Structure formats: C-alpha cells, structure tokens
Amino acid sequence: METQYAYLLNLICFVPLVGALFIVFFLDKENSRAIKMTATVVAGLDFVLSLPLWFLYKTDGAEFQFVTKLDWIPSVGVQYFFGVDGFSVLLILLTTLLGLIAVYSSFTAIAHREKEYYVFLLLLQVGMLGVFCSLDFILFYVFWEVMLVPMYFLIGVWGGPRKLYAAIKFFLFTLVGSVLMLIGILALYFYNSDGMAAIGLPGLGNAPTFSIPSLYEIAPQVPPELQFWIFLAFFVGFAIKVPMFPFHTWLPDAHVEAPTAGSVILAGVLLKMGTYGFIRLSLPLLPDATIKAVGWIGWLSIVAIIYGALVAMAQKDMKKLVAYSSVSHMGFITLGMFALNEAGLRGSILQMLNHGISTGALFLLVGLIYERRHNRMISEYGGIAKVMPIYAMFFLVITLSSIGLPTLNGFIGEFLILIGAFAHKWWWALFATSGIVLGAGYMLWMYQRVFFGELSNEKNKGLKDLNLREQWTIIPLIILAFWIGLYPKPFLDRMAPTVDRVMERVATARPEAALPMVVHVSAVDQHEEHDEAATEHGE
Amino acid sequence: MPLEQFVPFIPEIFLAIASFVLLVGGIGLGRRGMRPLALGAVGSLVVTGILVWLFGRPAGEPEVILGGMLAIDTFAVFFKLLVLASAILTIMLATGFLERFRYGGGEFFALILTATLGMFVMASGVNLVSLYVGLELMALSSYVLVGYCKLEVKSNEGAVKYFVLGAMSSGILLYGISLVYGSLGTLDLMEIKTALVAAPQDNLVLMLGIVLMAFGMLFKVAAVPFHVWSPDAYEGAPTPVTAFISVAPKAAAFAMFLRIFAGAFSPEIDHWRSVIWLAAAMTMIFGNIAALSQDNVKRMLAYSSIAHAGYALMGVVAGTAYGTWSVLMYMLVYTFMNIGAFGLVVLLETRGYAGETVKDWAGLSKKAPAAAAGMLILLLALAGIPPTGGFMSKLYVFAAAINAGYIWLAVIGVLMSAVSLYYYFRIVVQMYLVEGEEAESGAELVRDRWAEGVVLVSVLVVMAIGVYPAPFVGWAQGGLNALGLM
C-alpha cells in the first residue's frame, strides 16, 4: 500500500545507503577529493529530497502521510511500514541538515581513513532517518540498532585519546537499553495477538502485527500492570538514549572523545531518539503507565536539569561543558513532555529541534577552535574575540540561543516548557527556571573567559578567523535559530497533529485504575504524587 | 519388508557408498589427490542433496519407513539440507587447510561423510534406537576428526577429552533410554507419546529416565554444566573441524532434542521443562561470561557456541510450535555465521596454531578490508545486531520465550547478548581501531579461493536472512510438519 509521494521517504532513507555503497565499491581510498565530493553530494541530495516533506505535509490531513506499507515477514506480522507525521518530518529535516553539515565540516578535521569515515557517516544517517520513518516496531528496532555500529566506529577510530573506552561504553549502554525495549515490544505484540497464557495473560486474539498505528488502537485495553512493565522496558531504552539522570554517564565520555561531526550528530539527532521514542511510543501506547510515571520522571528530569548545569559549570574543557549542558537541556525536554499538557509537549518537541540546532552548532564551534589549537581547555584561551571576530560573533549568537534569549529559538521552547511545567506543578517550573539561570551562568561565564580579557596566550595571537566553508557550517543553524525565535508558527503547526494525538491517547488513561504492581522502593516516596497527578488528569 | 520402503532411504545409501569410495580413493591417490578427492566429496554431498530433494521428501503427510525407525517429513529434510550445507562448506574450508598443514585428505572427507550420515539418521529417527545409532555414528566420526592433526599435541588432547566425555554422555543417554523403555515398554517415539498422553505418569523411574536423557542431550549440545569438553575440543581440533563440530552436530542434536522432548515427552513437559530452563539460563550466562576473558579466538568462539546453544534452548523451553520453529531458524542462521567466522580464522592461520590469538587480527582492515568487513558482519550477526540474520534468529527465540511466559529467561537472554557484544568487538577493535605499532601483527591472510568462497557465501546468507527473512522463516515454519512433534 502506498499513499501520495510515498517514494519520498524511501528515497530519503536509502539515498545515503546507496551513496555509502558507491564510495565503498567505486572510490579508491587515496582519492580523498572524490570521496568528499561524493559524500557532500549525497548528503546534499538527501537534504534537498527532504525539503518537499516540509511543504507537502498536510497539517490538517491524516495523521501519518507518505505511507509505504509492504509485507516483510508476513507470517509474524512484520511489515515494511514507512510513514511520517509532522513531528517526524521536523526531525527528518533536522537530521538531513545536520548530516550535510557533519559531512562538510569534516573536510579538514578528518585527515586519515577518510573513505571509511564518510561511509560510516552516511550509514549512520540511514539508521537515524529509518528510525524517524518507521511505523513498524521491528523495522524501528532494526534501524534503532543499526545506528549504533557506525557511531561506534566514528568514536572509536577518529576519536580522542580514550576513544576505545568511550566507544564501547556508548555501544554497551545503548545496546542494553534497546534489548530491554525489545522485550517490551514483544510483550505488547503478544498481548495484542495470542497472549502469554502461561502467566495468565490471554491476549486479545487480533492478527499478529507490529504496526505502531494498529497498536495505538488497542492501547486502552492493555491492563495497567502490563503497561507498567512495558513502560519500564521502554523507559530503560529511551532514558539511556536521552540520556536521563542517572543513565547519563556514557554521554560525556562519548561526546568528549568523538570527532566534531560525531558530536554534532550525537547531540543533534541521536539524543532525540530517546525523546522521540517517548512521544511516539511510550506516551500514546501506555497512557496508564505514563500517568503513573509522571511523578518520578519529573524528579529525574529536575535532577538532570540542575545536576547537569552544576557539573557543566565546573568543567574546564569546553567540549565537556557543552556535553553536560546537553544533560541539562535534555532534562528540560523530558520535563515538558511529562507535564502531559499541550504547552509542555509543544515546547518539548520544539526544544528537541532547538537543542539539535544550538548544541550542534556549539560542538561545531568548539571543534573549529580545536582544529586550530588542538586544545579545548578554557584556561588556554582568553581575548580571542580580538583575533577571531566572526567566530566570536557566531559563538555569541549560539550561546544566547542556547540560554534562551528572546528572539532566538531557545526562548520559545523553554518558555512553552515552563508554561507546561507550571500548569502541571508550580514547583516544577521553579526548579526548571533555576536551571535556566544556571545555564545562562555557565554559558556566559565560559564565553567571557574564552573571548574577552587580555589576549595573553602567545599561541592564540596567530589564530585565523573562520574561512568561508567554516562559516557556512554555522550560518544555516543561525538562520534557523532566528527563524524559530521570531516565527515559530510553521513549526508548531506541523507538530500539532502529533501533540493532539498524544493528548487524546493520554486522556483515554484510566487514572482510577488500581496500581496492583509491586512498587519499587525508590518510587514509594513519590507514590502519592502519582495519585495526585492521576486525579488531576482525570478531571 | 517391501522394497519401496528403501526409496526414501536412497540418499543415506548413496552417502554410505560415497564415503567408502572416498576412503579407498584416498589410499590410492595419496596427498596428490587432495583436490580431486575434495571435489568428489563435495560432488557426492551435492548429489545427496539432490537425492534428498527427489526421494527424501514426504509426498504429503509425514510417513515412517524401515519398520518405524525413520520418519520422512519436512522437519528431517530441513535438518538434512542444513547438515549437508555445513558439510560442503567444511570440506571447502578444509581442503586448503589440509594441504598447508600437509595432511592427507581421503579419510578426512570420508569421516565428514559418515558423520553427515549419522546426522541424517539423527534428523529423521523416530525410534530411540535409530536415534542413538545415528548419534554414535556422528560422534565416533567427530572424535577422529578432532584428533586428525595427529602430530599436534593439542589436537590429541582435544580428541581424548571429547571422546571420554562424549562416551560418558552417550552412556548417560543410553541409561536414560533404558529406564524409559523399562517403564513404558517401547522405544518408538509415537508410542511413547501415546502412552504418556493416555496415562500421565510421574513414577520415579520414568522421571529419572527423562532427566538422564535430558542430561545426555545437554551434553551433546554442550549446554552448561555439561559443556566442559567443548572448549578444549574446539580449541584443539583442526579449525575446519571446529567449524564443523560447532554447527552440524549441534544442529542435529537439536533436531533429536526437539523430536524427543518437544515431541515424545511433550505430555510430561511440566516435569522436564525446569531442567532445560535452568540449563538454558546457565548456558547463556556462563558461556558469555567465560568468553569475555579468552584471548584465543577459537576458544572465544567455542564459548560463544556454548552461549548460542543456550539461546536455542529457549525455544525448547517454550515447548510451543513457535518455540520449535524458532530453534530451526536459529540453527539455520547459526550454522552460517559460525562457519563463516571460523572460515576467517582458517584463512588467518599460518603455521602451527599461529593466527589464533585476538592480537593476530590487528590492523586487518588495512591489510584486507574485504575480509575485515566480512568478519565484522559475521560478528555483528553473532552478537545479534540487525540488519544481520543473527538478529532475526534471536528475535524468534526471545519471542517464543515471551510467548510461553518465560519473560525472565528472555531478559537473561537479551542482557547476555549485550555482554556478548563486548567480546566479539574485541576482535573488531583489533581489526579496525588499533593503530600504529599495535596494528602490526605477524599474521597474514593466506590465499585460498575455496575458503574465501565459504566466507563469502556465509556472509551473503547471513545478510540475506537479515534483510529479507520471509522465505527463511517460511522454511523453518515448514519444518513443523514433523512426525511426532505437533
């Protein structure tokens, strides 16, 4: 089955694969120019192909558009099922844009084993785009894991001094999360079909299917106890990816050791996988469990916001600082999401884009200075605004975007999240605001130490400002930052159907349903919170 | 006994004759005759495959031949073709290897063929006697194959351990069989099942018999705690033999396991299931944890094979149709990914046992990018990462366990497969990540077209199953049409 323009998604997803195979089989590894050209053309083509999605997506039409639905493993109900809604369109556009930027920002940064590098970069893009396009659980899972392999190599081959440790840590953390998610997927699948008789779950007897939209339909029938366990399995998978406190420990290692383009993709897109999973799967599929989980996930998010910010403040290494700021920002995103109201969800989705833009740009900027000095210590710099004025200006705009200055993108997202958080619990907003203040603190403090003051370090006196190619890695992101900051309506319009659906599904939850499961020790304290949250939503 | 009953038996008869011809031919031709003998062996296996397809398939419903000794059903055909494929790939791996190490080939090929014959009987036997005879024919051939490099101490050591423990496990199995016979008065699987359905029993003698048979079978699939023979046997054996005994006898043993336990003993499933559950969990945990610290790649893959038996056992524990075909699917993928991985070890081995340590893989991605990429794909498959067949096969055993309500077993399984990634990726680290002086290793890939072909075929099959699994799943599900099973 195909709907209009369905070929677009298939093309977008697999063009990078074709490009990667072309480089593998037809280009010589010495021919660095041709490899870079091909990679750029492929990534550029992919970006151009994804643009029509922005215009062709009908915000008032069906939920999922550009649908391709073919049998893949018919006997167990697995389909090749691609389709997007506005939420995934936004993330696909972010991915193709950052993918292109990642390719052409690597021209000088990567000097050895270039062929493999660009191949892995393109393969990574296939995995990421596949995740955003898939509407079948198994297909989704396949792409979800496919991403890990190229990212492992990007960190492991082209990374910093502790790259081996960081690469395998990244792989193992995310793998553990995703395999547990697989258990959750299978449990849901069997509940929908022939059940798990041995543990007293008869199942609904529907035809076996892994189709996510079909499973949305049965979501309200899943018993709360089962929802809790599936939610837990999904939660581990997504929370590690986000990463939420206390699963964040892989992130600083991976970010610090990864090459610049790897960090950009990691921060810009890979971290969004977790939050994408929550909004696409956990919330609409498991509404009962979601409502019960609001209390403790809220706490985890608040801890992430404040802890991430405090740790970021203490960092001496710029890249590490940006990495920890990601933990803090991702805390905002999960907080807004689990406020479970329209403002919070909108802010959360928008902030996913914003974080991709501003943190991606920050990693690029840190990478640019690292390429010149091979040093990222804040103390090594000072006063470089004098020798690199354009760089300093770009850095300033992105810093302001990251801390949420009005007229820039970060403001809109954070503001919406705060409204949502406040509507849920006033003190959620209180903690979140303190995170914003801390964020402004560490970012501006870093900016001050790096760019202002005396140009005391001899090595910095000869620094060259950004050349044209380097400027063009940042400019698109700055344009986007202003666009979202000044006129976010097109973005909000596109995510509206998704937000509505999630709200609608969450409203089907049965808050009065008893909580028969064993409550974990850590959750006992928040147990009362659950009930409060639940009643609020019931009203 | 009417003569038509022998018609479905033609492949086995042909295989027996071919192995005698190869044995005699080997004496006549000596070492010069390696390639013709290998071609003859591969040719006879291919012909056997064709004969299985022509005569060995059931016309419709499963049927029994030779006085109820063997069944002709799709289950048997599935395993027979799988065993044939692994035998062909093994011979192609072994030919160059034997030439390089200066061993004769005639007996080697003849033994592979007799082992294959034994496994044919294991795949189709529906009587405990025929199953046992098949098992012993396979086992005796394998003992000799493990000790084939008679000048190498390790090879001898492995063979002795394999033989002593293998003989003991056969004894245990036989004792179990005799207890079952004693309490039920029959050796025929169908009759055993009928008797158990008619009168469910929990007398101690029968239970002891079933448990002892389970122990014997767990020995044969190298499940923990009955695995101690396998790392030594796998490490000591000539590498192509390791590749062979780590897949084909395991697949055949699983066929026998399913036929006996998911089939004949299925009415007593509540009595034996917990034994297998425990063995599956321990096998996955211990196999993977022990592999973590291995520096010898053959030994690492040996422990990994142990772990893989644990995953497949999940399907047996499930005890459902889903569980049964998931085991078939698992064995299909496992056969190709393991032979492929051992194939690359064969290619890297230069003299003596060099080329076996993890360090020997250093810098392979520069020296031989295609081989390194092939190994990467096979290792990803072994670790169960999509889009390889390894993921597709693991998916079904986990699904079968969850379907049957064994969620904790599935959780152990998925967590252990994450652990397995760590040791598989130790090889990847050497191949791709280490640089500079560390990336210099003495080992070089040998040129061996046949062995390269084996690796290529394995990689292609593993990828094909991963990308388009539908037909393979269809075959595995087709194998459910089995006598005494459902």
Q: What is the pLDDT of residues B304-345, one digit of tens each?
A: 999 999 999 999 998 888 889 999 999 999 999 999 999 999
Residues of B in contact with A74 (CB under 8 A): 470
DSSP output for A401-435: HHHT-TTSHHHHHHHHHHHHHHHH-HHHHHHHHHH
Q: Is residue A206 part of a domain?
A: no
Closest residue in A to B326 (Cα–Cα): A76
Residue A3 has pLDDT above 80, yes or no: no
Structure tokens at A64: 């999922």
With CB atoms and an 8 Å threshold, state whether B395 touches A167. no
Quick check: A519 contacting B, CB < 8 Å? Answer: no
Q: What is the mean pLDDT of chain A?
A: 86
* pLDDT of A518: 35
Chain A nearest C-alpha distance from B285 (Å) = 15
Chain B nearest C-alpha distance from A175 (Å) = 6
Residues of A in contact with B385 (CB under 8 A): 145-146, 148-149
Chain A nearest C-alpha distance from B76 (Å) = 22
**Encoded amino acid at B241, one letter:** V
* pLDDT of A523: 38
With a CB-CB cutoff of 8 Å, which residues 137-166 of chain A face chain B? 138, 141-142, 145-146, 148-149, 152-153, 156-157, 163-164
Which one, of B43, B474, B79, lies nearest residue B249 by Cα? B79
Q: Is residue A63 part of a domain?
A: no
Distance from C-alpha of A7 to C-alpha of A53, rounded to nearest angstrom: 11
Give the pLDDT confidence of B23-61 residue by residue, as tens digits. Answer: 888 777 766 778 888 899 999 999 999 999 988 888 777
* pLDDT of B355: 62
Residues of A in contact with B415 (CB under 8 A): 176, 179-180
Which one, of B267, B264, B310, lies nearest residue B288 by Cα? B310
Structure tokens at A227: 């929802």
To probe the interface with A, which of B377, B385, B431 has the most A CB atoms within 10 Å?
B385
Strand partners, A84: A65
Residue A255 has pLDDT above 60, yes or no: yes
Residues of chain B below pLDDT 70: 1, 30-31, 350-355, 438-439, 441-442, 483-486
In this structure, are strands A65-73 and A78-84 parallel, antiparallel, or unpaired?
antiparallel
Diameter of chain B by CA atoms? Answer: 72
With CB atoms and an 8 Å threshold, state whether B391 touches A145. yes
Give the pLDDT confidence of A63-117 residue by residue, as tens digits. Answer: 788 888 888 988 888 999 999 988 899 999 999 999 999 998 888 888 888 888 9
Closest residue in B to A194 (Cα–Cα): B403
To probe the interface with A, which of B317, B365, B427, B428 has the most A CB atoms within 10 Å?
B428
Residues of A in contact with B473 (CB under 8 A): 73, 75-76
Which one, of B275, B299, B293, lies nearest residue B224 by Cα? B275
Structure letter (DSSP) for residue B426: H
Mean pLDDT within A357-369: 91
* pLDDT of B245: 92
* pLDDT of A113: 86
Chain A nearest C-alpha distance from B478 (Å) = 11
Chain B nearest C-alpha distance from A354 (Å) = 31
* pLDDT of A136: 93
Q: Is residue A2 part of a domain?
A: no
- By the 8 A CB rule, do B79 and B476 touch? no
If pLDDT is split at 50, 70 and 90, which confidence band does A525 have? very low
Closest residue in A to B425 (Cα–Cα): A168
To probe the interface with A, which of B288, B317, B402 has the most A CB atoms within 10 Å?
B402
For residue A198, count CB atoms less than 10 angstroms from its CB and return exposed for 0-12, middle for 13-18, buried for 19 or more.
middle
- Measured in whole angstroms, how far is the alpha carbon of residue B186 from the centre of its chain? 29
* pLDDT of A522: 38
Residue A404 has pLDDT above 50, yes or no: yes
Chain B nearest C-alpha distance from A177 (Å) = 9
Which one, of B215, B34, B216, B259, lies nearest residue B125 by Cα? B259
Distance from C-alpha of A463 to C-alpha of A485, rounded to nearest angstrom: 32
Distance from C-alpha of B343 to C-alpha of B92, rounded to nearest angstrom: 10
Quick check: A230 contacting B, CB < 8 Å? Answer: no
Mean pLDDT within A164-191: 90
Residue the block writes with tokens 């639940």: A534
Quick check: A6 contacting B, CB < 8 Å? Answer: no
Q: Count up the domains in chain A and report the number.
A: 1
**Which structural domain, as residue segments, surrounds residue A437?**
293-539
* pLDDT of A517: 38
**Residue A57, helix vs strand vs coil:** coil
- Measured in whole angstroms, how far is the alpha carbon of residue A519 from the centre of its chain? 30
The percent of residues above 90 in pLDDT, for chain A, comes to: 37
With CB atoms and an 8 Å threshold, state whether B473 touches A75. yes
Distance from C-alpha of A297 to C-alpha of A275, rounded to nearest angstrom: 13
Residues of A in contact with B396 (CB under 8 A): 76
If pLDDT is split at 50, 70 and 90, which confidence band does A510 have? low
Distance from C-alpha of A72 to C-alpha of A79, rounded to nearest angstrom: 5
To probe the interface with B, which of A21, A173, A183 has the most B CB atoms within 10 Å?
A183
With CB atoms and an 8 Å threshold, state whether B422 touches A156. no
* pLDDT of A477: 92
CA distances to B78, B85, B472, B473, B482 from B477, in Å:
10, 19, 9, 6, 11
Which one, of B332, B440, B452, lies nearest residue B86 by Cα? B332
In this structure, are strands B63-65 and B70-72 parallel, antiparallel, or unpaired?
antiparallel
Chain A nearest C-alpha distance from B56 (Å) = 26
- ipTM above 0.85 for this complex: yes
* pLDDT of A524: 37
Residues of B in contact with A180 (CB under 8 A): 411, 414-415
Closest residue in A to B403 (Cα–Cα): A196
Quick check: A182 contacting B, CB < 8 Å? Answer: yes
Could you give phi then psi for residue A2, rounded to 5 degrees? -140, 145
Mean pLDDT within A341-366: 91
With residue B84 as reference, give the H or E element that holds it.
Answer: helix B74-100
With residue A84 as reference, give the H or E element that holds it.
Answer: strand A78-84
Give the pLDDT confidence of A105-159 residue by residue, as tens digits. Answer: 888 888 888 888 999 999 999 999 999 999 999 999 999 999 999 999 999 888 8
Q: What pTM was estimated for this model as a whole?
A: 0.91
If pLDDT is split at 50, 70 and 90, which confidence band does A223 have? confident
With CB atoms and an 8 Å threshold, state whether A182 touches B398. yes
In this structure, are strands A65-73 and B63-65 parallel, antiparallel, or unpaired?
unpaired
What are the domain boundaries of chain B?
3-483
Q: Is residue A429 part of a domain?
A: yes
